[in-house]
C-alpha cells in the first residue's frame, strides 16, 4: 500500500513538473509572438528605411502586402482619425460592412485596424502607449465584431484571413481581455480547423496554434506546430517542388502568391519557435533556406519581383511589395547577406522543370519566360483576380535592366499582346480561364541550362492556334524564334515582342541614324532595329511589325475587381508582329539586347547568330564565335547540324559544343516529360 502511495506520489510529481515545463514553453511562445508583432526582435532597419520610401497603399487584398504595411511607422494622423471616427457601436463609416466582393473584402479592414490599434497600445514610441482611449476603442471595435460576426462569400477570409489578423491582436491583448471577450475571441479562432494542402494548410494550422495559446492547450500547440512543420517537405503535388519552385491550386507556379505567403509564414514560425522545444530541426531549416536561395532568389531583380512569378496577384506596386516581403522573410531566416542590399548578385541560367519557367541572369540584366503544358497550368482566375490574364502562361517574356520596366503597367496592357506571346488580335472580351479550360495541350515544353546560358521551348496548341516557340539566352542577348504558326479562324494572329512602360524615346534605325517616333508605325521585316530604355531589338524574320509609342488609359478594376473604379494614364511602348489571318507555317525571328547601347545594336553583325533550322521538326541555332549550338527537337529522327548528322531518339533540348577538331558533340540534354494528352 505504501509502495502504491509513493508511486502515485511520483506520478503526481511528474505531472506537476510536466505541466510546469509546458506552461513555461507556452509563455515563451507568447512572449516571442508579441516581440515579433511589435518588431522588437527584428533588426531590419535598412529594409524598413527602403520600404518607407514607397507610398503606402490605400486598397489592399493580399495578406503579404497587408503584413508588409504593418512594418511602416504609425501614421499618427490616420490613427487620430480612427479614434475619433469610431462610432459608439464600434464601426467606421468609411468601411462598407455590406461588401460582397470576394477579394479586397472591406470588413477585413475592421480587423486590420483592431490589430494596428493593439500594436499602437503597446508601442512606447508614441503618446498612445498604454492609452485608455485606445483600449476603449479596441473594446468597442471588438464588441461589434463579436456581435455582428461579418461573413464573406470567400471562405478564405472567414477561416484564414480574419482569424489570422484578429488572432494576432488577441495574443497581444490577452491580459486585457475580460472572460467573455476571451471566450468570444476563442470562438473567432474556432473557424479555423486542420485541413487542406500547401499554404492553406499552414495558414489554418497557424490559426489553430493561436487558439491553443489562448486556451493554454499545450498538446494542441504541439499538434499545430507539427502540422505546420509537416509542409516543410519536397516533391508533393502542392507545396515545394524538387526544382525549388512552389505549386498551389494544382501544378501551377505560385512563387509570388501562395509561395511567398509560405515563406513569410515559415520565417515567422521559425522566429516564433526559436529557443523553444518546438523549434524547427536542422533539416527543416535547410529546406526553407534552399527554397529561398535556389528558388525565390532567382525571381528578384533590383528589389522587383519578376512579373512571371506573381501568379494572379497583379496588384498596384506588386513587384516591389513582393520583393520586400521576401527580403524581410529571408533576413529573418538568417539570409541577411544575400537580401539586405538592393542588388542580387546571382548570375546564371535556371530552368524550373516542374513549372515550365526559365530565368536568365547576367551581371547587368535579367530575363524570364513562363510557359505551360499538359503538366503545368499557365495561370488562374480566382475571386475576380486576374480577369484578363488568359495568356500569361503562353510564353510571356520579360526583360529587366532597372527592374521597374513593367511596374504598374497592367491597366495599360493590351492583354492579348503580353510580351513573348503568340495569340489572336481581336476586340472581343478575353476568355474566362475557368470556363474555357483551354490550357496548352502539349507535352513538348521544357528547358535546358548549361548553368550560364540556356534554351526554353514550347509547342503552343490551344484555341485552334498552333506554333513552335523557342528562346536562347546568351550573355548579351536573347534569340527568339517562332515557326509553324497556324490557325483556321478569321482572326489576325500576332506575336508580341515587347509591351513596357515608355521611358525616353522609342528609336528606329533607318540604316544611317536613329530617329525617335511617336504614335503607330507599320514596318516590314527583315532587319528592323529598335532601341528603347537601354534595350535594343532586331527583327530578322516575320512579316509586318507594328511599333507603338503612345499614351493609354485604363483601370485597375478592369482586371482586379477589388479596386474601386478610377481611370489612370501612362505612356507605353509596344512592338508586335502580324502573321495574318489563317496563317500557314508562319514564323518569326528577333533578338533582344537588354542593358545595351544604340551603337552596339545598329552595328550588331547578325552573322553571329546562325539559324540552322526553324520548323516544326526542330529549332536549331548556332553561335559560330562561341563554337556552340542549341537545338530543340520536336520530332525524333536524324537532324543535320553543321554538316553533321545526329540521330535524336527523344524529343527534347540539346546543347552542343565543338571539340578540338571542330566536331560538334552533345554536352547536355533534357528530354521533354511526355505524359500524354491530359486535357
CATH number of residue 87's parent domain: 1.50.10.100
**Both 430 and 381 in a single domain?**
yes
- Which of the 8 DSSP states describes residue 111? H
Residue at 273 is within a domain: no
pLDDT at 662: 78
Those residues whose C-beta lies under 8 Å from the C-beta of residue 396, and which sit 6 or more positions away, are 307, 308, 369, 370, 418, 419, 420, 421
Task: Supply the range of the domain harboring residue 120.
Answer: 74-191
Those residues whose C-beta lies under 8 Å from the C-beta of residue 649, and which sit 6 or more positions away, are 636
**Both 448 and 538 in a single domain?**
yes
CATH code, domain carrying 459: 2.70.98.10
Residue at 51 is within a domain: no
Question: CA 332, CA 42: separation in Å to the nearest integer?
Answer: 7
Given 591, 610, 629, the domain boundary residue is 610
Reported as a single tens digit per residue, the pLDDT across 415-434 is 999 999 999 999 999 998 88
pLDDT-based confidence at residue 678 (cuts at 50, 70, 90): very low
What sign does the dihedral 242-246-252-256 (CA atoms) show? Answer: negative
Residue at 450 is within a domain: yes
Residue at 395 is within a domain: yes
**Both 11 and 155 in a single domain?**
no
Residue at 206 is within a domain: no
Nine-digit cell at 517? 517616333
pTM of the predicted model, to two decimals? Answer: 0.93
Given 610, 640, 655, the domain boundary residue is 610
Reported as a single tens digit per residue, the pLDDT across 509-561 is 999 999 999 999 999 978 899 999 999 999 998 789 999 999 999 999 999 99
pLDDT-based confidence at residue 630 (cuts at 50, 70, 90): very high
Question: Residue 281, exposed/middle/buried by CB under 10 A (0-12, 13-18, 19+)?
Answer: exposed
Nine-digit cell at 494? 500576332
**Both 141 and 31 in a single domain?**
no
Predicted confidence (pLDDT) at residue 13 exceeds the cutoff of 50: no
**Both 394 and 511 in a single domain?**
yes
**Both 23 and 82 in a single domain?**
no
**Both 22 and 110 in a single domain?**
no
**Both 21 and 160 in a single domain?**
no
Question: CA 477, CA 479: separation in Å to the nearest integer?
Answer: 7
**Both 6 and 114 in a single domain?**
no
Start-to-end C-alpha separation, the chain: 74
Residue at 482 is within a domain: yes
**Both 117 and 12 in a single domain?**
no
φ, ψ for residue 348, nearest 5 deg: 140, -165
Q: What is the CA radius of gyration of the chain?
A: 28
Those residues whose C-beta lies under 8 Å from the C-beta of residue 579, and which sit 6 or more positions away, are 422, 485, 492, 493, 494, 495, 542, 543, 586, 588
Residue at 213 is within a domain: no
Residue at 149 is within a domain: yes
Please check whether residue 255 is in contact with residue 320, taking contact to mean a CB–CB distance below 8 angstroms.
Answer: no
- Once rounded to an integer, what is the mean pLDDT over residues 478-497? 97
pLDDT at 434: 80
- Which of the 8 DSSP states describes residue 174? G
Predicted confidence (pLDDT) at residue 10 exceeds the cutoff of 70: no
**Both 440 and 495 in a single domain?**
yes
How many structural domains does the chain have? Answer: 3
Predicted confidence (pLDDT) at residue 3 exceeds the cutoff of 50: no
Given 588, 610, 632, the domain boundary residue is 610
Please state which of the ranges 123-127, 271-275, 431-435, 447-451 shows the lowest mean pLDDT: 431-435
pLDDT-based confidence at residue 342 (cuts at 50, 70, 90): low
Please state which of the ranges 208-217, 303-312, 521-530 shows the lowest mean pLDDT: 521-530
Inter-axis angle of helices 198-214 and 218-229, nearest 10: 160
**Both 17 and 81 in a single domain?**
no
Predicted confidence (pLDDT) at residue 258 exceeds the cutoff of 90: yes
Nine-digit cell at 399? 526583360
Amino acid at each position: 500500500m505504501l509502495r502504491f502511495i509513493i508511486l502515485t506520489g511520483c506520478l503526481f510529481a511528474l505531472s506537476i513538473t510536466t505541466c510546469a515545463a509546458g506552461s513555461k514553453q507556452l509563455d515563451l511562445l507568447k512572449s516571442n509572438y508579441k516581440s515579433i508583432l511589435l518588431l522588437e526582435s527584428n533588426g531590419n532597419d535598412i529594409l524598413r528605411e527602403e520600404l518607407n520610401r514607397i507610398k503606402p497603399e490605400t486598397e489592399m487584398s493580399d495578406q503579404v502586402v497587408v503584413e508588409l504595411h504593418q512594418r511602416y511607422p504609425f501614421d499618427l494622423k490616420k490613427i487620430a482619425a480612427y479614434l475619433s471616427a469610431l462610432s459608439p457601436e464600434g464601426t467606421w463609416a468609411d468601411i462598407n460592412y455590406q461588401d460582397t466582393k470576394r477579394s479586397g473584402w472591406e470588413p477585413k479592414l475592421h480587423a486590420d485596424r483592431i490589430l494596428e490599434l493593439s500594436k499602437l497600445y503597446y508601442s512606447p514610441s508614441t503618446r498612445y502607449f498604454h492609452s485608455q482611449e485606445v483600449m476603449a476603442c479596441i473594446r468597442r471595435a471588438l464588441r461589434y465584431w463579436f456581435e455582428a460576426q461579418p461573413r464573406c462569400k470567400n471562405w478564405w477570409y472567414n477561416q484564414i484571413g480574419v482569424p489570422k489578423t484578429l488572432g494576432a491582436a488577441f495574443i497581444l491583448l490577452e491580459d486585457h481581455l475580460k472572460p467573455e471577450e476571451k471566450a468570444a475571441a476563442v470562438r473567432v479562432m474556432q473557424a479555423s480547423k486542420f485541413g487542406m494542402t500547401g499554404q492553406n494548410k499552414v495558414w489554418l494550422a497557424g490559426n489553430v496554434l493561436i487558439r491553443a495559446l489562448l486556451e493554454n492547450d499545450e498538446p494542441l500547440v504541439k499538434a499545430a506546430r507539427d502540422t505546420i512543420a509537416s509542409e516543410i517537405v519536397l516533391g508533393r503535388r502542392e507545396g515545394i517542388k524538387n526544382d525549388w519552385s512552389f505549386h498551389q491550386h494544382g501544378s501551377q507556379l505560385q512563387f509570388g502568391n501562395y509561395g511567398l505567403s509560405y515563406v513569410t509564414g515559415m520565417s515567422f514560425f521559425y522566429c516564433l519557435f526559436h529557443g523553444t522545444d518546438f523549434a524547427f530541426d536542422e533539416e527543416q531549416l535547410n529546406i526553407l533556406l534552399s527554397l529561398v536561395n535556389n528558388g525565390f532568389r532567382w525571381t528578384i531583380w533590383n528589389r522587383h519581383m519578376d512579373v512571371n512569378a506573381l501568379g494572379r496577384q497583379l496588384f498596384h506596386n506588386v513587384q516591389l511589395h513582393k520583393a520586400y516581403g521576401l527580403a524581410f522573410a529571408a533576413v529573418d531566416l538568417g539570409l541577411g547577406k544575400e537580401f539586405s542590399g538592393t542588388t542580387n548578385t546571382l548570375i546564371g541560367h535556371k530552368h524550373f522543370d516542374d513549372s515550365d519557367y526559365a530565368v536568365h541572369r547576367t551581371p547587368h540584366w535579367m530575363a524570364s519566360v513562363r510557359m505551360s503544358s499538359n503538366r503545368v497550368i499557365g495561370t488562374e482566375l480566382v475571386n475576380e483576380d486576374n480577369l484578363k490574364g488568359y495568356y500569361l502562361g503562353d510564353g510571356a517574356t520579360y526583360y529587366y535592366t532597372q527592374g521597374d520596366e513593367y511596374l504598374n503597367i497592367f491597366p495599360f496592357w493590351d492583354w492579348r499582346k503580353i510580351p513573348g506571346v503568340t495569340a489572336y488580335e481581336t476586340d472581343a472580351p478575353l476568355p474566362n480561364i475557368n470556363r474555357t479550360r483551354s490550357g496548352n495541350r502539349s507535352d513538348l515544353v521544357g528547358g535546358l541550362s548549361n548553368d550560364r546560358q540556356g534554351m526554353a521551348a514550347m509547342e503552343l496548341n490551344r484555341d485552334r492556334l498552333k506554333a513552335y516557340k523557342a528562346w536562347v539566352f546568351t550573355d548579351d542577348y536573347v534569340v527568339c524564334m517562332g515557326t509553324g504558326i497556324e490557325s483556321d479562324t478569321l482572326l489576325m494572329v500576332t506575336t508580341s515582342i515587347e509591351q513596357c512602360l515608355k521611358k525616353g524615346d522609342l528609336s528606329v534605325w533607318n540604316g544611317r541614324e536613329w530617329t525617335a517616333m511617336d504614335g503607330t508605325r507599320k514596318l516590314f521585316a527583315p532587319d528592323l532595329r529598335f532601341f528603347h530604355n537601354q534595350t535594343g531589338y532586331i527583327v530578322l524574320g516575320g512579316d509586318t511589325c507594328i511599333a507603338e509609342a503612345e499614351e493609354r488609359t485604363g483601370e485597375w478594376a478592369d482586371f482586379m475587381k477589388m479596386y474601386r473604379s478610377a481611370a489612370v494614364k501612362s505612356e507605353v511602348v509596344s512592338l508586335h508582329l502580324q502573321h495574318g489571318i489563317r496563317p500557314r507555317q508562319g514564323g518569326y525571328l528577333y533578338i533582344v539586347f537588354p542593358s545595351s547601347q544604340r551603337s552596339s545594336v545598329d552595328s550588331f553583325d547578325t552573322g553571329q547568330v546562325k539559324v540552322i533550322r526553324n520548323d516544326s521538326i526542330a529549332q536549331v541555332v548556332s553561335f559560330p564565335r562561341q563554337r556552340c549550338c542549341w537545338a530543340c527537337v520536336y520530332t525524333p529522327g536524324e537532324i543535320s547540324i553543321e554538316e553533321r548528322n545526329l540521330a535524336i531518339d527523344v524529343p527534347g533540348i540539346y546543347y552542343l559544343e565543338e571539340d578540338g577538331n571542330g566536331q560538334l558533340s552533345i554536352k547536355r540534354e533534357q528530354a521533354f516529360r511526355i505524359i500524354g494528352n491530359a486535357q
